[in-house]
Each structure stands twice: as C-alpha cells, then as structure tokens.
Amino acid sequence: MEPVLDPETIFRPSYIASVELPLRTGPVNVEDIKTNLSDEFSLAASSLDMSQPNSFVCKEHVQVCLRIRPFTSSEKEQEFQECVSIEDSTSVILKAPKNSMACRLSEKNMGQMMQKFMFSHVFGPETTQEEFFEGTMKQPVQDFLEGHSHLIFTYGVTNAGKTYTFQGTEDDVGILPRTMDMLFKRVHGKMYPEMDLKPHRCREYIKLTKEQMKEEIAFKNSILRLTKEADFQNSNCSKTSDESEDLEEVTKESEQSITTEGSHMKFSLWVSFCEIYNECIYDLLFPITNDKKRKLLRLAQDIKGCSYVRDLQWVQISNAKEAFRLLKLGLKHQSIACTKLNTCSSRSHSIFTVKILRIEDSKIPLVTQVSELVLCDLAGSERCTKTRNEGDRLKESGNINTSLLILGKCINALKNSQQS
C-alpha cells in the first residue's frame, strides 16, 4: 500500500554522522543518560576553538553528511519537489511545502521562509551506494584499520532512507556490508588464525584457556548454523544482499591488502549486534533464552569508567561472508513494524560493532591495540500503525533516552578529544 503523504513531514533527509573516538574513551556516567544534554553540547562546543569557522569540521572529530533520497513515484505527483535545493557540496536551502501550515504562516507574516543548513558534505538523490560509501566510509574504515576507533550513525525520521543507506538492498548493498568487505580485503593474508584472544569489556581483551576456546568455537558453529535457517523468505523486509556478489564492485583500491604493517602483525576481527528497543538492550545474535524470552542486557562500566554492554556476545569472524550471515541473523530478530510512511520501519536502534585486535604474532602473541568501529542505525521517531512481532505491547521507538545514550557517547568522545 502506498503511504499517505503528509506535507508537514515530507522532507525527510537522512544524516550520517561519523565520530572519531579517542583511543581511550573517558567515563560515561549511565545516570547522565537521563539528564538534559543540551548543556553538555554547549560545554563541548565552547571548549572548541570557536575563533575557527566551523571548528567541529576543522578538527575533523565529527563529520555530518546529508543524504537526500530520490522521491518515490507517489511523492513525485505531489508538489514537494521545491522544498529542498542543494546549494553546493556542503549546504542546502529548505523551504516549507506550499500547502503546509508553516508556509501559510510565513507567507502571511514575511514572505516564504527559507533556511540554510551546512554539512560536512551533501549527497544528492542521484548518489549511488558505492559513491556514498566512498565519500563517507572509506576514510573511517582505513583509520579503523590503523587503530582509530569510530562511531558512525544514521539519523533521520521514518522513511528517510537510513536503513537503505546502512544495509542497502539485495541488488545494491549499503555501507555496512561494504565496510565488512573492505575490512577483509585489507587484512587479507594477515588474519590471526587462533581464537585464543578475545575482546573484553570496552577496550580490553582476555586470553582464553583451551577449554574456553573450545566453547568459543562451538558457540560460533552454533550461531553460524542458525544463520543457515535465517532466510528471509517469510519476511517482507529482506534488505541485505544474499551473497557478496555485489561487493566485488567495492572500490578497487580497497582490494589492496595492508602493506604498511610489520610482517608479524596480525588481525583478529570480532563482531556483536544488538538493538535498543524501548530503552531495553537485546542481543540480536543470541536473542532467545530457554524460556523463549529475549534476554535483557545491561549497561555496565569497567574500572576506567568506560561503558559497555554486559554479556553481549562477541563472535570471531574469518571473512566477510560470515559477517553478512551474522548481520542477516540479527536483522531477522530486529524489531520492525509499520509506520504511516514506511511499511517496513526499523523500530529500534541497531548497533553493529566490529572490534579489531592488532596482534604481534611472535612466540607469545601480544595484543598491541584494540579498536572499535560502531555502526548504529537509529530508529526514526514515529508512531507505528501495527507491529510485526506478535505480543509486542510497546509500539513506539525513536525513544529519546536511548537516542541520548548514543548522543552522550558522541559528546563524551568530543570532550575527550578536546582534552587529548
């Protein structure tokens, strides 16, 4: 069914923000999640050198890119096309839709109101998935491989195109599968073969005993077996590529593996996938307990005060295909429902995290660095018309507090990067 178009909400840009996290993140006070963060924002902003124009961007700690999706066929029939115009590669002009209340009011008072917005980069409707990946993700992925942590998130109201940008479609995959493909192409031939070193808490790692390693391998096998069952034939929401054929096209440059590392440097890659749904955190890779309930996870802090999700499963992956299989398994468990504008709307914030252990592979392997790449697809704030998951009582997401948790992480990163 075609969605009902609402002139007040028709301009639906989506944003992708990329935050470089400092090597050591400082404490995130879990209680702060419920506080008003506007003060924090101004604090972080005031600690920047504001004599520099646009100093967020100058220092390159935060990049905010705007992607404007093409109009759908039903939108084309409406008179919305003139609402947004791209001025140049970093700015857009917005006008209220002609028949909207905002337009009528502004015309009455002072003529049609226009607003200009600036971004790190603006991507127009003709931008392909490949071009968008090249323009936004290639550098962060490269930095990540060199040991810098990054937080990437898509942000926008329902139907803006966040999930399309994040996951993509079967024919044209989005930034997440492309990221995994680039990562594995780069570390090709340099994978650490054992599973004895595992990320732990925030940026730590642990050495597994032989017994623990066996358990780890058994767990990985059981998860991968589950992924075989996780096809999307019964789902209306098949959003990812089945196999990695499309990914062959990802940047030619990315096909070169890392050559700058010492010959003993190896990489161990681990992923986790969770969602925040109505303020509760669930593991998307291991969601069902014996009593068929989803296990609720909690935020915790390590001794340095860095926050992490306790008991979240980390799975070691050996190639991009394994990563896609885990992504698909997780998506099967994600909370999805209908909104007025999107029949297949993500109702939770999904967080896919990749951790890389850089390992000096000598007689006694030594982890020299743990870095993380956090990819969040934030739910658009909108009331649902019906839920997909039977028995769901809570039908709304886009929850303010959980969004603030992620924003809080950004602020924290900003503050720390000012200090360092």
Ligand X SMILES: Nc1ncnc2c1ncn2[C@@H]1O[C@H](COP(=O)(O)OP(=O)(O)OP(=O)(O)O)[C@@H](O)[C@H]1O
Which residue, 203 or 347, is less far from ligand X as judged by CB?
A: 347
Among 379, 405, 410, 411, the residue binding ligand X under the rule CB under 6 A is: 379
162 is in an annotated binding site: yes
**225 residue type, one letter:** R
Which residue, 271 or 341, is less far from ligand X as judged by CB?
A: 341
3-state SS assignment for residue 348: coil
Instruction: Establish if 131 lies at the interface with ligand X (CB under 6 A).
Output: no
Please say whether the beta carbons of 16 and 65 come within 8 A.
Answer: yes
B/e letters for 166-175, b = 16+ CB within 10 Å, e = fewer, are bbbeeeebbb
Taking alpha carbons only, the member of 227, 123, 234, 239 closest to residue 171 is 239
- x/- mask, ligand X, residues 345-364, rule CB under 6 A, reads xx------------------
Taking alpha carbons only, the member of 305, 351, 280, 294 closest to residue 201 is 305
Residue corresponding to tokens 């309930």 = 293
Taking alpha carbons only, the member of 135, 111, 134, 100 closest to residue 8 is 100
Task: State the minimum distance, in angstroms, from the CB of residue 334 to ligand X.
Answer: 10
Instruction: Establish if 403 lies at the interface with ligand X (CB under 6 A).
Output: no
Instruction: Establish if 342 lies at the interface with ligand X (CB under 6 A).
Output: yes
Task: State the minimum distance, in angstroms, from the CB of residue 284 to ligand X.
Answer: 15
Q: Helix and strand tally (H, E) in the chain?
A: 11, 19
Instruction: Establish if 178 lies at the interface with ligand X (CB under 6 A).
Output: no
163 is in an annotated binding site: yes
DSSP assignment of 63-82 equals EEEEEPPPPPHHHHHTT-GG
Among 95, 138, 162, 178, the residue binding ligand X under the rule CB under 6 A is: 162
Please say whether the beta carbons of 176 and 162 come within 8 A.
Answer: no
Instruction: Establish if 163 lies at the interface with ligand X (CB under 6 A).
Output: yes
User: Measured between alpha carbons, how far is 94 from 12 in angstroms, rounded to an integer?
Assistant: 11
Among 7, 140, 156, 287, the residue binding ligand X under the rule CB under 6 A is: 156
H/E stretch holding 56: helix 55-59
Which residue, 70 or 147, is less far from ligand X as judged by CB?
A: 70
98 is in an annotated binding site: no
CA 224 vs. chain centroid, Å, equals: 22
Instruction: Establish if 70 lies at the interface with ligand X (CB under 6 A).
Output: yes
Residues 266-295 that bind ligand X (CB under 6 A): none
Taking alpha carbons only, the member of 407, 300, 287 closest to residue 335 is 287
Task: State the minimum distance, in angstroms, from the CB of residue 375 to ligand X.
Answer: 14
**Number of residues counted as binding ligand X (CB under 6 A):** 18
Instruction: Establish if 161 lies at the interface with ligand X (CB under 6 A).
Output: yes
Among 63, 136, 316, 339, the residue binding ligand X under the rule CB under 6 A is: 339
Instruction: Establish if 159 lies at the interface with ligand X (CB under 6 A).
Output: yes
Which residue, 70 or 305, is less far from ligand X as judged by CB?
A: 70
Instruction: Establish if 14 lies at the interface with ligand X (CB under 6 A).
Output: yes
240 is in an annotated binding site: no
H/E stretch holding 216: helix 210-229
Task: State the minimum distance, in angstroms, from the CB of residue 345 to ligand X.
Answer: 3
Instruction: Establish if 240 lies at the interface with ligand X (CB under 6 A).
Output: no
CA distances from 105 to 6, 100, 117, 223, 358 (A): 17, 9, 21, 56, 58
Q: 387 — phi, psi (to 5°)? A: -100, 150
Q: Which residues are annotated as a binding site?
A: 156-163
Q: Which residues are annotated as a binding site for ATP?
A: 156-163
Which residues contact ligand X (rule: CB under 6 A)? Answer: 14, 69-70, 156, 158-164, 339, 342, 344-346, 379-380
